[in-house]
Structure 1
Amino acid sequence: MKNITKILSLALLLAFTAGAYAEDKYDTLAKEITEAGAMVQGKKIAIIPFSYADGRAGATKDGSVISERLTIKMINMHKFEIIERSVLDKVMAELKLQSSGMIDASSAQQLGKLLGVEAIVTGTLVETSDGQIEVNARLIKTETAQAIGASQVSLHKNWIGDAATAPQQPAYQQPDYQQPVAAQRRAAPPVRGEHEYGYFEVIGGGGTQTTTVKWDTAYASAEQPDLVTSGVGPVGFRVGGYGKGAFGGDFEFSVSKHYIEAQRSVIYSGGYVVAANLPAGYLDVTSIGLSGDLLLRTMTKAQFYVGVGLGMSINNIKSSVIRDIHNVLLNETAVGFMFRVPVGIRFNMDNTTFFLEGRMEMNATSFNRGSATEVNNVTFVGARGVFGVGTKF
């Protein structure tokens, strides 16, 4: 009885040791592949079932078991986004690739485009003389089809059945590479280039301006040029983006305020020049801008850009001095025209974008003091410094 107990205990110990040994080997595979793939960590990868190096027909179960166990190990390491097997099988069927085995360079690149993966794990199996299975795994970067890492371990087979006893779908012989048909290309998910992105940003800024007021009343015409003006803005948000080339664009919603300061000015009217002292609050204008820019950038890490922008403004015009035809202090709202030339630099860090910009800007609007025969033009011109931060999409 004691001998039987010893034999059973020894058998259980050997089984546990073999299982732990196999688990250690899977850990080794996962660790070495993960370390080799440091450049693509955090990206999507696909793990393809392995096949025997001698090309034995239908022998896919061993490779499937090993790849599934390796997949679980690598998922639990949380270093990559790993494509589900069902998705992988569907795409490989579309490309008419066999569901296991080594993948050639062109097939690796096709898989990379269709699955949106940065790398694939594949390899071969070799049955050794002592009954073990030698696993030779490779990590292949799909863009270049270059092997960037490899790992080799020998495993004890501790599962039941193989390709000879389990019914398997016959493996499809890898065909010569052919250009994918149009339908396959349409099914491919879009892959963005390195410099292709959109962005949403919160912006702020300020600067110096001058204002020109041109009066055209029923009694006379006059001009007050180059009035010193202060203010704040633009403050708002901007949505834009770039394609694969150098051109891009954006839409901007912003609010700006303009205050003509107290100053001594000159009024030109009918060949006469008259000096006048303007009080604070002579004209206060709040502008809401709806505008867009056409942009041209450099294809560098820090992207310099220049552009041209047009838009419309909605302006609330007030005065503490000027009165309308009903003798009420001026308070009108009018539509205006905006024009600007932005020059700036943009920095992109992962999903964050930041920019610094200088712009020459003009905003032209008008008021009529409630008179149908009067049009008085107000034009703000000046330089603005603008900055912003946001997110890429």
Structure 2
Amino acid sequence: MSAIVWTAVVSLAAWCWLLLCQGFFWRTDVRLPPRRDPAAWPSVCVVVPARDEAGVLPASLPSLLAQDYPGRAEVFLVDDGSADGTGELARELSRRHGGLPLTVDSPGEPPAGWTGKLWAVRHGIGLARARGPEYLLLTDADIAHAPDSLRELVAAARTGGFDVVSQMARLRVESLWERLVVPAFVYFFAQLYPFRWIGLRGSRTAAAAGGCVLLRADMAEKARIPDAIRHAVIDDVALARAVKGSGGHIWLGLADRVDSVRPYPRLHDLWRMVSRSAYAQLRHNPLLLLGTVAGLALVYLVPPATVVSGAVAGSTATAVVGAAAWTVMTGTYVPMLRYYGQPLWLAPLLPFIAFLYLLMTVDSAVQHYRGRGAAWKGRTYARPDAVPDES
């Protein structure tokens, strides 16, 4: 057989392996595990880091204040140097909507070696510890929660004995580019970190979704959260690894009633969201970058390319094998499109979307070497090995 046919065969084999041996990552039925109400509801403090979030806060903060939680709960919003009146708006929303007690405070600028978000989280956890909570809910300022969200998270954690219960918020899919790119973002994340593996005791796979993380307060102290991960750009995965490394039990799954209200209307907005941390995911390693680009090309780009080349060259074998790989790929994407309520004709476009992600990853590396990597809301962060270790 020709080299092109062999390449198509390898791609098909890779897809068969992903289909059956990668934790069934493509399934979307990993939702909150079985749970029952505890005899006594533990106290919870909600920590919300916020930097220039006035645009989304009216759609998110009231949902936290309105939590129907039987135990003691309160909210700490940490204003991370906002220039748009985020802190005052939060106070106004609390006065207007009532609900859970709200404390708004600011830690000042982060010191060297800290990301702004984790410095704000550290400050919020410090405020919360004075209340002696059993659980901390770390949630982003763009996340809206259903009224029973906190109750369900705590019940799941108590029932399953989890130190972390995290839900991947349903991201917004309203603009054309959101419909194309967002479901694939969650699909790729689940492929890297299969949810079923994360919840297994003894499994080395660790990840969380930073928008919604319920964390036992004593585990946060044991794992030194967030001090141990103070420089992490991908802080949710770093948090999960720190907890697992301390013997903790983690659960991560898709959310039904926890939603991100942050809009990404243009391709540029989504591009920035992905590229700011993609190279950090690869540990700023050029060899890992080359391997990732080659892997994305083999798995996602080879199938349609061999279908076209086989048709043009009159090679039935090439076209058939390439079509088989493309079909398996398409089938694994269908459940995620259904989860997001998107038309299934988008599924065959996954190679095109993967190519966009490939370009975003390369751009992330380019921006890093230009000194603009991991830039977000006016700050640019150095890679971890460039930060002095203060421990």
User: Higher relative CO (CA 8 A, sep ≥ 6), structure 1 or 2?
Assistant: 2
TM-score normalised by the chain length of structure 1: 0.23
Higher fraction of helix: 2
| TM-score, length of structure 2 as denominator length | 0.23
Q: Which has the larger radius of gyration?
A: 1
Which of the pair is proportionally richer in strand? 1
